[in-house]
Amino acid sequence: MNLLQEDVQLMVETGLEAYRRDFTAYAEVCFREFGDRVLYWTTVNEANIFVVGGYDIGIIPPQRFMGPLVFGDYPDIMKKNVGTRLPAFTKIESEQVKGSFDFIGANHYITIYTKDKSSSLKMDTRDFNADMAVELIRQRTWKNATLSDPGRVKYIQSFIGSLLDAMRNGSNARGYFYWSFMDLFELLDGYESCYGLYYVDLNDKDLKRYPKLSAHWYSNFLKGQSMNLNGATEVQKMIDSTLSQSHSSQ
């Protein structure tokens, strides 16, 4: 369960100390009410969005997040640029925050290819992307709401396989979670991004859900049953049969 999702404006309005007290009380309620069912907690979701949203897109205040968690203090260059506006850590606070994270999660939606764009460094005014001197090449393909999604199956299979290779090579990876269980409301795209394992029929008054091919594959994977793409035909027949029965009952 995630506890914080970009509630920066509340911190600005209430002040740091009041926000700290309120967040502590809120976290204690979550632990008390859901602690018997939730095994893993994340404090901040998509921490990189805080940085990109602040310095590039401009939708949230600029900030940093990893420096204090790793070193117990902000980088010297940040102290120089921000000055007295930057909160200062006491020696005790610095010791408490240093190394206080249990793990770092990598939130991976898409793979982005890059190519050289050194010419951007000659610009007088540069943004986050121009500073990297690269051109980002990306294609969003998750808006396909079909129940037959072998591309997603291949992606999940490849991702888990690569994670396993990394662990065999010494990576201290501890877990993998698929996002998301079903098609849902995305903050920037509404209901257009259909990247769930279950399709949700928004035209149905009960918002009926249908398992996609990827849901069947992932279920079999979690059960320890091998199912490659070549054997997915039978699963696809199951999906077609489910849909046929559903439509006939209507």
**DSSP result, 143-172:** T---S--HHHHHHHHHHHHHHHHHHHTT--
Given 17, 33, 46, 192, the catalytic residue: 46
Q: Is the dihedral of CA 152, 157, 162, 166 positive or negative?
A: positive
Do residues 2 and 45 make contact, with C-beta atoms less than 8 angstroms apart?
A: yes
CA distances (Å), origin 3, targets 120, 138, 185: 38, 30, 18
Please, which residues have CB within 8 angstroms of residue 179's CB and are 6 or more apart in sequence? 107, 195
Distance CA 6, CA 58 (A): 13
Structure tokens, 195? 């990247």
**Residue 17 among the catalytic residues:** no
Please, which residues have CB within 8 angstroms of residue 126's CB and are 6 or more apart in sequence? 120
Structure tokens, 67? 């420096």
Known catalytic residues are 46
